[in-house]
Chains A and B, each alone.
Chain A
Amino acid sequence: MIRRLTQTLVGAAVAVVLAGPVVAQDKVADELAKYREALADGNPADLFELKGEALWAEKRGPKNVSLEQCDMGLGPGKLDGAYAQLPKYFKDTGKVMDVESRLVHCMVSLQGFTPEQVTQQWYSKPGKDADIEALVTYIGAKSNGKPINVPATHPEEARMARMGEYIFYRRSGPQDFSCAICHGQEGKRIRLQELGNLTTKDGAGTAMKTWPSYRVSQGTVWTMQRRLIDCMRQARWPEPEYLADSVIALETYLLKTATGTVMETPGIKR
């Protein structure tokens, strides 16, 4: 794996030198694609998935029960395809919930944890892995190969999708950014990174189908909450709180647009 990676990177460097400036640009993009392919051979997210599977079945929390009766929207314990149909409206909470808010709900209501206990470390820090990332990777993998199915037909879901659309176009901050600035057009690139047009099914599908995803540059799996909260950081805004409704609204908008796209998860990215 490492050797193959080195070969790819050396290959990329040689290609740049030999190809000259005109075609070098495309070559770099090609070699980056090969780099991603090399990475996909042995995705470290598999380890998160295994850990998540064990956490799901383990009796934990003050009530010493597992998560096996957790209802992620298809009935208690039914995980096949559950990730692909979230966010959705849940009668028992009266809220539109995404994978992570529903998971936290189960850890609180079934296992007896406090919300603070569950969410105080919702993402990994060096030397300290987050259980939520592992559980979400496991739940996500159970939807691999399933089409995203967030039609947002319930009035509350439709409302969340509209609110997500509003946030998508909302500009503010010292760079005048909104999501749409980078993700509202076809075929654009920021530096070398290709940007999807998230207002189309294809663009939103390509973006959404591979999450949760192992981020090589971050050394951990990123969940969709982490991904979107980081978008806001990049926009130079403050961070919304973990599980904030506005993040769930954005997810609903994006996944409604991506509906029908087949999930390929866990993914691996730069």
Chain B
Amino acid sequence: MKRKFALFGLLAALAVPALAGKALEAPGGKDAAAAEQMFRASFKAENPKYWMSRLEQDETMKTCGLYRDNPPRKIGEKLEKLNVATIRYPVDGKLIGDWKEGEKLAAVGTGGHIGFIQPDPAGKLRGGNCYACHQLARKELAYGTIGPNLQNFGRIRGRSEENIKYVYDKIYNSNAFTACTNMPRFGLHNWLTPEQITHIVAFLIDPESPVNRD
């Protein structure tokens, strides 16, 4: 464990000169390793293991933090390769599902909250919460702007197999295309099942979907 922290500290130190232009210190500077320890010590020891597993970081998360989500291109490419390799497809190989199901999933923002204060009830549907960040169907006005506007996505980008696969892959693991993007990796974390992802693909691409019709 100690060695891990030491390695992390070393990585942090190496990161500084690697940044292009004005050298921006990695967050936490020389106290990054201590901050990690402090953060981990902030949680009740009797928390279920499943909860605490949500504090673990894979290489992508660690590296993104180190570079304030803006890694040098070389490191970004390495992360993108790592993430491409994680993508799994539905058993039947069909990447475009039912847009009506996708429409529901795009609107659901609850699910997955844990803890003692305001947890979600077990089994609560987890959606993609797409509207938190994207504009999609014209009729939905309560959309966020963290991600790009996806209104008419299918009309503009088409229904080619290539585009369908791109959308599936992007939702499954957004970091396969852009390392350290703000977008979650829905498939990698099993937040959405491959089948649910195909429904959201349909919501974006199907010509009958309100994303492309209204």
**What is A's interface to B at a CB cutoff of 8 Å?**
16, 21, 24-25, 28, 123, 159, 162-178, 180-182, 184-185, 187-193, 195, 229-230, 233-234, 236-241, 244-247, 249
Contacts and interface: CB of A to CB of B under 8 A. Distances in A.
Given A236-B114, A237-B54, A165 B28 contact: yes
Nearest to A163: B35
A45 to B, nearest CB: 20
Interface in B50-78: 51-52, 54-57, 60-61, 64-65, 68-69
Interface stretch (B92-100, B157-165, B184-192): B184-192
A60 B52 CA distance: 38
B146 A244 contact: no
B144 A190 contact: yes
Given A233-B118, A241-B43, A16 B141 contact: yes
A172 B57 contact: yes
A99 to B, nearest CB: 18
Contacts of B29: 162
A17 B45 CA distance: 52
Given A170-B65, A172-B61, A182-B146, A241 B42 contact: yes
Contacts of B155: none
Contacts of A163: 28, 31, 34-35, 38
A236 B38 CA distance: 19
Given A165-B27, A230-B118, A237-B55, 15 more contacts: A159-B31, A166-B32, A169-B68, A170-B65, A171-B61, A172-B55, A178-B64, A181-B146, A182-B146, A182-B182, A189-B146, A233-B113, A244-B41, A246-B35, A246-B39
Contacts of B65: 166, 169-171, 178
B129 to A, nearest CB: 9
Which 9 pairs across A and B sit closest by C-beta, in order of nearness?
Answer: A166-B28, A244-B42, A163-B35, A166-B35, A240-B42, A239-B115, A171-B61, A174-B189, A246-B42
Which of under 10, 10 to 19, 20 to 34, or 35 or more describes the interface residues of B?
35 or more
Contacts of A237: 54-55, 114
B42 A162 contact: no
Nearest to B12: A166
A188 B145 contact: yes
Interface string B105-146: 000010011111110000000000001110000110111111
B40 to A, nearest CB: 9
B31 A166 contact: yes
A123 B115 CA distance: 15
A188 B29 CA distance: 28
A76 to B, nearest CB: 30
Interface in B162-179: 175
A234 B190 CA distance: 18
Contacts of B115: 233, 238-239
Contacts of B55: 172-173, 237-238
B112 A174 contact: yes
9 contacts: A21-B138, A21-B141, A166-B35, A167-B35, A171-B61, A172-B55, A195-B146, A238-B43, A238-B55
B68 A239 contact: no
Given A16-B141, A172-B54, A241-B44, A167 B39 contact: yes
Contacts of A28: 141-142
B36 interface: yes
